[in-house]
Structure 1
Amino acid sequence: MHTFLETGTFAETMIDRCDTKLAIWSTLLPASKKDPLRQDGKVDEVMFMAHMMASIIISTLHRPFSSLAYIAEEFSTQAFLSPTPFVLQPKTGRLAHTARALKAAEMQTKFLAIPCGMERHNLFAMCISAQLTAAQVSACTNLLDGHALFIARDRVRLSIGFLNTMGSIWPVGKKMAKDVRSIARAALSNTQHTVTVDAGPAAAEIEIEMPRDELIWPVDPSAQIDIYSGIVIPNDWDATAFNYSLSIPSDLM
């Protein structure tokens, strides 16, 4: 925060310093704190939130320098805002920034897939999850294909399910879920991987209600699935087409 106040930008020097501090924090954690799930099957909610905070910090720092371009609909959300800081034009290392932003989204999925009462999580986990899901949607749009894309879309559904569950206590959770669905619908409906469905006038109001076991499948935190293996991350930032679109099909409004 001091570095940002001094420079007014998210420069690579600040990112390096923050990465170092996060790495130190993670390294110094005792083994019992590295996983929020305790041996007795209960969730350490303090550590759950700490790891979620670490994941959003990583995403916020690295996504602006990565190939996970911001989607136009992220700037019109009502219940949360995607962090879009002013950054200096990166010179090198876009691949590393992209990999770290993807890792943050993967971390969030593993935490949400922990079998527990989701409504017990800290309410601020909702905003973190919504922001990281927007980054996940960008990965679906710009990087992923085939089986990796199907898994990533399941991860988006997992986050929406989490927000809906939290919405049973905190009404803003359902509003965040609606915003995330709008981002995903607008972004993924423009890709060749989208399955055509009959989207009636009330489509935007449909709530996704799924049993938890169905919701998290095939996401299994113990399976160590790397859905990003084999993808080609664009090297040329300027030459990469991110398909920004300010128009939304009328049947999705």
Structure 2
Amino acid sequence: MTIDSTSPAARDDSISAALDSHQSLGLDWDNGGTTQSRSSKGAVVAVAVACIACRSRHLKCDGGTRCSRCLQDGTECLYVKSRRGWKGPRRQARSALPRANDVSSMTGLPQSALPLGGFDVPVNLDQFLPGRDGELVSTSELSFMVDSYPESNAMSQLIPNGLPTPPTIDPSNTGLLAAYYVYFHPGHPFLLPKPQMLELLNTGQLAHLMLAIQYIGSLYVPPARRGSQEEDLQNALAKADIPRDGIMVQAMLLYSIGLHISDHEDQSAEVMRATIDLALELGMDKRDFAVQNGSNSAIMEESFRRTWWEVFVLDGLNAGVNPQYTLRLLGHQSHIDLPCEERDYASGRIPPIHKNLSEFDDNVFANQEHAFSSSAYRIDAIRLLHKVFMASCGQGAASHLLDSADVHLRTWALQLPVEKRNPIDRMGCMDEVLFEAHMIVSACTIMLHRPRSDLNLDEVEKVKTCVAAHGSTPLPGGCKDVHTVKAMQAARDISGLVLLPCPMIKHTPFFSCAVTMSSIVFLSYWSFIALESDDAFIKDTVKLNIGVLKTLGELWPIANTVLGQVKGVAQELFQSRKALSNAFSQAQVTRQEIFQGMVESVTPPGEDDDLYGQFLALPQIS
């Protein structure tokens, strides 16, 4: 059966057919990851080393076999072997790289090529080298990461770390899996880490999951878009024999995100709704689901917990940027454990003790506050979005709901631990999940305050993509000036994320929508509020945001669509301001004469001095 990939009806039939199947899938493998320890000899006054956990959080470590902090947090305490005396790589370093046999022994995978998901796609393990935190890194990925697009114009020079050259990645199925893990997985890490995923796909029972991975990977590799990844995924999800399980939820999540990237917002919303229905039907929001379906594998259990939280996060993101989607999980209570830190998940070292939202909320009242994972702060950011929706919807949008949302947004930033205040560390490594959390909070601030501010310009309503319908509805909210200032600050924060020195291609695909929200705020401000002193800054920021959308639009259709809308509004406003400036310059009339005539025509003699003096203090219009 062939299904037209552009037909909404075909997508409807595919998903409906997929949701009618009732089977289960059993998985069984040992949890990977080894535990290392370092023993201390007697009492030491000064500790010369720190464990990985303390070092990453910039905290003092007592250097014990299991330091007191790790003991209290219930996490493994690991130390990095000293490199003192190491003189750099030897000339023989190349020959010392692990052979296929060595890689096979590290991963438990066979030395021969792997048939991935029943597609007989060979995976040469010689291509993969051990990377940071034990994750395998493809040699082709390494070359992909250092390339960059040729600069086509001066605007691209304003955008730091643009897109690597997609053609460098092999458009084969193996290359698409590599593209998925290099570019998409850091921002949405709910599937198993790559080594465990390769082992899972080797069972040959998960064609639909492999196709979903390839579909997302193809969106980062332009030569692969000529293929039939989306159609193949539709056909796979429509098969009646696909198990209705957590793996299917994962595949459908990827399908929904891919449709969003491809600017199929209607279909993306439909698939997202079906995904939530399936997840709730399976009970993925219950604590025991991961244990019962994790095949006694700690890392598989963690993946299923992350999958539910990804459903929760994407429900909020879609509601915030997709006019065709309505928030489904508003007020939903889930008591499953929060995800662990990304480095622990990537290395397979899942902490034995997990934390939940109740502990997260009560942390501020603890004697000693603890930092939670980046995923926990991202989840909390979506809970803030729920509060924004409650304040923006319903009868009259009660003021106490507005105040509550405003307080929680401010508190989120104030309560962040030091190590979570900046998504990029001193070594230039970006925490994409934490980046997303900051992005969501800034977008929520715009959604809360712009409808109550002076930033509701008619022209910006021409931007229809990436802006939910509620975002343009004027709402009561007290002093408009305060709301205007808060919305402007949030827009600056989003543009500030653009300036972080990291490849934009690794950011979540929803980042293009956040940039769009920022652009709408700046364009509205520029249209009738901006003073002469702000003009250059506003124009430069609008140029920056347009440059981001232009860069991302080279890969993602939705970014290209919204680029045209934002650029059209910007051009219209620019021409309007330019015409106004020319009108004043050609009239050869001073500002004093213009205003003096206006005042004299509407005020009695002697009552215009104060107004006239105030006007002269205003900056000139340019």
| Fold-level similarity (TM above 0.5) | yes
- Distance across 2 between alignment mates of 1:149 and 1:60: 24
Per-residue CA shift, 1:106-133, capped at 9, x if unaligned? 1111111112111111000111111220
| Counterpart for residue 168 of structure 1 | 554
Structure 1 unaligned blocks of 5 or more: 197-231, 233-253
**5+ long unaligned stretches in structure 2:** 1-385, 583-617
Give the corresponding residue for 1:248.
none
Contact 1:9-1:87 within 8 A present in 2 as well: no
| Pair 1:193–1:69, CA change in 2 (3 A) | farther
CA contact (8 A) 1:134 1:183 kept: no
The residue aligned with 1:206 is: none
Offset of residue 134 of structure 1? 0.9
1:184 is aligned with what amino acid?
Answer: A
Inter-partner Cα distance in structure 2 for 1:88 and 1:77: 19
CA distance in 1, matches of 2:407, 2:441: 12
Partner residue in 2 for 1:64 = 451
Q: Map 1:123-134 to 2 at 5 A.
A: 123-134=509-520
Contact 2:423/2:434 (CA < 8 Å) preserved in 1? yes
Higher relative contact order (CA 8 A, sep 6+): 1
- In the alignment, which of 552, 575, 584 is matched to residue 189 of structure 1? 575
Q: Which of 1 and 2 has greater Rg?
A: 2
Residue of structure 2 aligned with 1:43, choices 430, 438, 445: 430
Which of residues 414, 418, 422 in structure 2 aligns to 1:27? Answer: 414
> Which of 12, 16, 20 lines up with 2:403 in the alignment?
16
Q: 1:144 to 1:13 in 2, by over 3 A?
A: same
**Who is 1:220 aligned against?**
none
Secondary structure at 1:84 match in 2: helix
Instruction: Indicate conservation of the 8 Å contact 1:10/1:85, yes or no.
Output: no
Question: How far off its partner does 1:46 sit?
Answer: 1.0
Deviation at 1:156, TM superposition (A): 0.8
Q: Give, as a single letter, the amino acid of the residue that structure 1 aligns with 2:408.
A: K
Question: For 2:487 and 2:481, how far apart are their aligned partners in 1?
Answer: 10
- Once the 2 structures are TM-superposed, how far is the Cα of residue 190 of structure 1 from its aligned partner? 1.0
Distance (whole Å) between structure 1 residues aligned to residue 464 and residue 446 of structure 2: 21
In 1, are the aligned partners of 2:515 and 2:545 still within 8 Å (CA)? yes
Are residues 6 and 79 of structure 1, via their aligned partners in 2, closer, same or farther at CA, if it must alter by over 3 Å? closer
Which residue is 2:491 aligned to?
A: 105
Normalised to the residue count of structure 2, the TM-score between the two structures is 0.29
User: How many pairs does the alignment contain?
Assistant: 195
State the identity as a percent.
Answer: 25
Is 1:52 equivalent to 2:462 in the alignment? no
CA contact (8 A) 1:163 1:173 kept: yes
Query: 1:141 Cα deviation (Å)?
Result: 1.2
Q: Deviations over 1:200-244 (max 9, x none)?
A: xxxxxxxxxxxxxxxxxxxxxxxxxxxxxxxx9xxxxxxxxxxxx
CA distance in 2, matches of 1:75, 1:52: 22
The CA distance in 1 between the partners of 2:395 and 2:438, in whole Å, is 27
Name whichever of 2-11 and 42-51 sits farther off: 2-11
Maintained 8 Å contact 2:391/2:402: no
In 2, Cα distance between equivalents of 1:24 and 1:89: 23
Pairwise CA distance, 1:170:
1.2
Equivalent position of 1:80 in the other structure? 466
8 Å Cα contact 1:70/1:138 also seen in 2 = yes
> Could you say if the C-alpha distance between residues 114 and 172 of structure 1 is closer, same or farther in structure 2, counting changes exceeding 3 Å?
same
Partner of 2:545: 159
Tell me the distance in 1 between the aligned counterparts of 2:480 and 2:556: 37
**Pairwise CA distance, 1:142:** 1.9
Structure 1 contact 64–85 (Cα < 8 Å) conserved: yes
Q: Aligned partners of 2:524, 2:441: CA distance in 1, in Å?
A: 20
- Contact 1:108–1:129, Cα closer than 8 Å, also in 2: yes
1:142 aligns with 2:528: yes
Q: Which residue of 1 aligns with 2:73?
A: none
1:189 Cα deviation after fit:
1.7
Map 1:189-208 → 2, pairs under 5 A: 189-192=575-578
Alpha carbons of structure 1 residues 71 and 15: separation in structure 2 relative to 1, 3 Å: same
For the residues of structure 1 that align with 2:423 and 2:523, how far apart are their CA atoms?
25
- What is the Cα-based RMSD across aligned positions, in Å? 2.5
| CA distance, structure 2, for counterparts of residue 31 and residue 170 of structure 1 | 34
Structure 1 residues 143 and 85, CA, compared in 2 at 3 Å: closer, same or farther?
closer
